[in-house]
């Protein structure tokens, strides 16, 4: 029997086929878009490193804000060895896709830096975690020379070690964060410099047996110490994604607002707390020359702090 095209049956059939095609195409696009990319990050060594939540929350926000262009992504936490340079695990997509680091000549040469400084240099303004029993002694510290009779605690391979040693300060190191607090608690060292961003959050997370530790901010150390996200240079898509997201947040002021509102960093924006603090400025010999030139005293200006040279 011949089909009369005027009755619309052939056109209806064609329309159904087209609708089916577009439905299947849309479903395929949805499934592809809903697939989430795994971004591998380093598991914190200790729950006491409460300040790490700032970096992870910022990273999640950047990934969320760039999802329209790059798709969904989620963080996957990878266990880390007790010792060794974490950044070396980022080369050739070994185990870690992205981490926050302070620049050194080697890191700058081996890894791809995301240009926006994610703490605006605030990591270099440091109070001292000390035992409360030493409070009176530290209140007499007025110069770097006064500080030389004490011994600092630091993490092994941290750039701060070379900063403190360059200033003629004694330093003991440990591989794990919790080991540093243990050394401090047992009197094997006298103070643990932590940024004003980190100190309070970390002490709030300390276990009961470390309750004798306090965050002393009457004396602050200051040295240039920018923090950036770094990725493997071969991971160009992730580098573009993070660069795009962080640059947009910085230009719009959203990154600063994020710092002002995040539980780890919001307390820093109470300048009256540090109005009477003495600031001892140190040189950072590890920081590449290009970063030395880029550093402004944004935090010193923000908190209206006065510097005292490191002599």
Beta strands in the chain (DSSP E): 37-42, 73-78, 98-101, 112-113, 125-131, 151-155, 170-174, 191-195, 213-222, 228-231, 278-281, 307-308
Q: State how beta strands 213-222 and 278-281 pair.
A: parallel
- Those residues whose C-beta lies under 8 Å from the C-beta of residue 302, and which sit 6 or more positions away, are 269, 271
User: Please, which residues bridge with residue 129 across strands?
Assistant: 192, 215
* Apex 34 CA angle, 32 and 39, nearest 5: 100
Domains and CATH numbers, the chain: 99-311 (3.40.190.10)
DSSP string, 234-248: T-HHHHHHHHHHHHH
pLDDT digits over 151-194, tens only?
999 998 888 999 999 999 999 999 888 889 889 989 999 999 99
Average pLDDT, the chain: 81
Per-residue confidence (pLDDT) for residue 79, from 0 to 100: 82
Supply 73's token pair.
């992504």
pLDDT of residue 49: 66
At 106-128, the pLDDT tens digits run: 889 999 999 999 988 788 899 99
pTM of the model: 0.76
For residue 14, name the pLDDT band (cuts at 50, 70, 90).
Answer: very low
Q: What is the per-residue pLDDT for 304?
A: 59
Structure tokens at 128: 């001292």
Q: Please enumerate in sequence order all residues whose Cβ is within 8 A of that of 183, keeping only pairs 6 or more positions apart, or say none.
A: 153, 172, 174, 189
Among the listed residues 21, 281, 260, the one whose alpha carbon sits nearest the alpha carbon of residue 125: 281
Give the Cα separation of 63 and 57 in Å (integer).
10
Check residues 95 and 305 and name the one with the higher pLDDT.
95
Phi and psi (nearest 5°) for 130?
-135, 170
Q: How far apart are CA 75 and CA 93, in angstroms?
A: 15
CA distance 259 to 159: 23
């Amino acid at each position: 029997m011949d089909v009369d095209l005027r009755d619309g049956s052939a056109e209806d059939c064609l329309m159904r086929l087209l609708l089916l095609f577009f439905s299947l195409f849309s479903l395929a696009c949805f499934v592809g878009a809903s697939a989430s990319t795994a971004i591998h990050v380093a598991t914190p060594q200790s729950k006491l490193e409460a300040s790490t939540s700032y970096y992870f929350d910022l990273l999640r926000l950047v990934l969320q804000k760039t999802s329209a262009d790059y798709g969904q992504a989620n963080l996957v936490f990878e266990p880390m060895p007790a010792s060794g340079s974490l950044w070396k695990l980022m080369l050739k997509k070994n185990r870690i896709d992205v981490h926050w680091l302070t620049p050194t000549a080697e890191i700058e040469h081996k890894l791809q830096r995301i240009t926006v400084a994610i703490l605006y240099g605030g990591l270099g303004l440091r109070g001292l975690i000390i035992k409360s029993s030493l409070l009176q002694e530290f209140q007499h510290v007025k110069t770097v020379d006064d500080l030389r009779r004490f011994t600092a605690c630091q993490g092994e391979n941290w750039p701060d070690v070379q900063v403190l040693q360059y200033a003629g300060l004694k330093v003991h190191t440990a591989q794990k964060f919790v080991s540093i607090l243990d050394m401090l608690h047992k009197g094997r060292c006298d103070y643990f410099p932590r940024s004003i961003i980190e100190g309070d959050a970390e002490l709030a997370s300390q276990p009961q047996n470390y309750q004798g530790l306090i965050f002393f901010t009457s004396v602050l150390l200051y040295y240039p110490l920018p923090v950036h996200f770094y990725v493997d240079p071969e991971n160009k898509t992730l580098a573009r994604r993070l660069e795009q997201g962080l640059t947009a947040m910085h230009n719009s002021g959203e990154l600063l607002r994020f710092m002002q509102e995040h539980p780890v960093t919001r307390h820093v924006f109470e300048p009256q707390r540090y109005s009477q603090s003495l600031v001892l400025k140190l040189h950072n010999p590890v920081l590449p020359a290009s970063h030395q030139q880029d550093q402004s005293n944004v935090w010193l200006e923000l908190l209206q702090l006065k510097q005292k040279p490191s002599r």
